[in-house]
Amino acid sequence: MRILAVCGMGFGSSMVLRMTIEAVLKETGIDASVATSDISSAKSERADLIVTSAEFSELLLGMNIPIVTVKNYVDRQEMKEKLIPVLNNKGA
Amino acid sequence: MMLHELLTEKTIQIQSQADNWEEAIVAASRPLVEQDCITGGYVAAMIHNVKKLGPYIVIVPHIAIAHARPDQGVHQLSMSMLCLEHPVSFSEKEEHQVRLVIVLAAVDHESHLQALSQLAALLSEADKIEKIMAASSVKEVMPLLQSLADS
């Protein structure tokens, strides 16, 4: 399972996103890897699902994989509620 | 590099308000430009990114992390923070009414991660964030940045 955290540049917000995703994965014991990408190269990345903000989700719809959008990049509770059902659905 | 080494009395500012979000990013960047950590071009690049990609830099409701790429004018890994008493709008949405603007200037993909991890830990502590937003002097903010664990 490969999760892609996407933001504008790939240096700041996607890194913060990755930290929150990794904390949730650790807490729930789900085995998955997390990579980061900027919005312009996200489409060429291989991933099973994407986590990003509402602004970017529309731009990534063509990728045909599940997209999880979060409002608060550091909120582990929000991340858990939105990410875990999608991961379970994927059989993680 | 730890967060409290980057966010210091020299890089944190408290200000009543900003005319618009562009002005808020310019004001937040001022200490870093004056210390020659970033160029004016980097400030312009940060503003351009929001114009091009939208207000995604508001990664926590009411808190924006402005940044551009290292090759757009970063001389030195650095960070600054502007606390606004009155929010500035990044869009019409409620969560985009911003009271903290943090400028991140990274030099590569790695060296800022410890400080960024500590910043993420700080941003997830709602009580500390409320205290920072309510602070009337930079001295009140400093102790809140100490003893942060990596998230």
State how far the Cα of A36 lies from the Cα of A55, in Å rounded to an integer: 17
pLDDT at A12: 87
* Per-residue burial over B44-76, b = 16 or more CB atoms within 10 Å of its CB, e = otherwise: bbbbebbeebbbbbbbbebbbbbbbbbebbbee
pLDDT at A59: 87
Chain A contacts of B57, Cβ < 8 Å? 8, 12-13
B12 Cβ neighbours under 8 A, 6+ residues apart: B80, B81, B82, B83, B138, B141, B142
Residue A91 lies in a domain: no
Residue A90 lies in a domain: no
Provide the pLDDT confidence category of residue B9 given band limits of 50, 70 and 90.
very high
pLDDT at B150: 53
Chain B contacts of A23, Cβ < 8 Å? 151
Interface test with A, best of B53, B113, B148, B150 (most A CBs within 10 A): B53
pLDDT at B147: 65
Give residue for tokens 């920072």. B132
Provide the pLDDT confidence category of residue B151 given band limits of 50, 70 and 90.
very low
Quick check: B1 pLDDT over 80? yes
**Helix, strand or coil for residue B86?**
strand
Q: Domain coordinates of chain B in residue numbers? A: 3-135
Residue A9 lies in a domain: yes
A36 with A22: CB under 8 angstroms?
A: no
pLDDT digits (tens, 9 = 90+) for A36-57: 999 989 989 999 999 999 889 9
Question: Is residue B118 packed enough to be buried (19+ CB in 10 Å), middle (13-18) or exposed (0-12)?
Answer: buried
State percent of chain B over pLDDT 90. Answer: 90
Nearest to B123 by CA among B69, B71, B63, B39: B63
Question: What's the total number of domains in chain A?
Answer: 1
Residue A18 lies in a domain: yes
Quick check: B149 pLDDT over 80? no
pLDDT digits (tens, 9 = 90+) for A49-86: 999 998 899 889 888 899 999 999 999 999 999 999 99
Chain A and chain B share a number of CB contacts under 8 A equal to: 70
Q: At the fourth CATH level, which superfamily is domain B3-135?
A: Mannitol-specific EII; Chain A (3.40.930.10)
Residue A92 lies in a domain: no
- The residues of A carrying an active-site annotation are 7
Q: What average pLDDT does the structure give for chain B?
A: 94
pLDDT digits (tens, 9 = 90+) for B60-99: 999 999 999 999 999 999 999 999 999 999 999 999 999 9
Range of the domain at A64: 2-85
Name the B residues in 84-143 with CB < 8 Å from any A CB: 95, 104, 106, 109, 112-113, 116-117, 119-121, 123-124
Nearest to B54 by CA among B107, B96, B26: B96
Answer whether B77 touches A (CB < 8 Å). Answer: no
Q: What is the ipTM of this complex?
A: 0.88
- CATH number, position A44: 3.40.50.2300
Chain A contacts of B56, Cβ < 8 Å? 7-8, 13, 53, 55-56
pLDDT digits (tens, 9 = 90+) for B105-136: 999 988 999 999 999 999 999 999 999 999 99
Within chain A, how many helices (H) and strands (E) appear?
3, 4
DSSP A10: S
